């Protein structure tokens, strides 16, 4: 079964097409999904710490509250919001809306910018609250 495509034409792939915002969003959607997958370790650690007692909780909170911890959590927040907005776009497409080329590209740009804006707003709110 090796080399089954030998001599046969291959379907065009990423490097053939002109780069479009929707392509970038598709790639980022998958990457953020993967990041959120492994990020569940952070959520599990936090919940287990909260269930373990004050000492463990304060220890984990201390790590998450450090500069590096906050950078990671900022990235986690962005990945979550980006994946969420990307998901909403996919739902719209699944329902048959938003396929027009220029609109799809505009929406891709808009959701990328919104994901960053919303992440910053969430963190401004976090710094105001605490």
Which residues lie near another protein (CB under 8 A)? Answer: 30, 33-34, 36-37, 40-41, 43-44, 47-48, 50-51, 54, 57-58, 61, 65, 77, 80-81, 84, 87-88, 90-91, 94, 122, 125-127, 129-130
Whole-number Å distance between alpha carbons of 41 and 37: 8
Residue nearer to another protein on the CB measure, 44 or 116: 44
Instruction: State the minimum distance, in angstroms, from the CB of residue 72 to another protein.
Output: 14
Token pair 């080399």 in the structure block, residue = 3
Cβ proximity to another protein: between 53 and 101 the closer is 53
In angstroms, the Cα distances linking 34 to 9, 60, 90 are 32, 23, 17
Query: Which pair of structure tokens corresponds to residue 93?
Result: 């497409």
Least CB distance to another protein at residue 48 (A): 5
Tell me 8's DSSP state: S
* CB-CB contact of 21 with 109 (8 Å): yes
* Residue number, 70 or 105, with CB nearest to another protein: 70
Annotated binding site: 83
């Amino acid at each position: 079964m090796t080399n089954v495509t030998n001599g046969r034409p291959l379907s065009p792939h990423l490097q053939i097409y002109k780069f479009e915002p929707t392509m970038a969003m598709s790639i980022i959607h998958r990457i953020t999904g993967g990041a959120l997958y492994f990020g569940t370790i952070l959520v599990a650690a936090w919940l287990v710490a909260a269930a373990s007692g004050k000492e463990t909780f304060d220890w984990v909170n201390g790590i998450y509250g450090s500069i590096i911890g906050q950078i990671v959590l900022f990235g986690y927040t962005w990945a979550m919001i980006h994946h969420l907005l990307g998901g909403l776009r996919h739902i719209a497409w699944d329902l048959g809306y938003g396929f027009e080329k220029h609109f799809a590209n505009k929406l891709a740009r808009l959701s990328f910018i919104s994901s960053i804006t919303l992440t910053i707003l969430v963190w401004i709110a976090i710094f105001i609250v605490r």
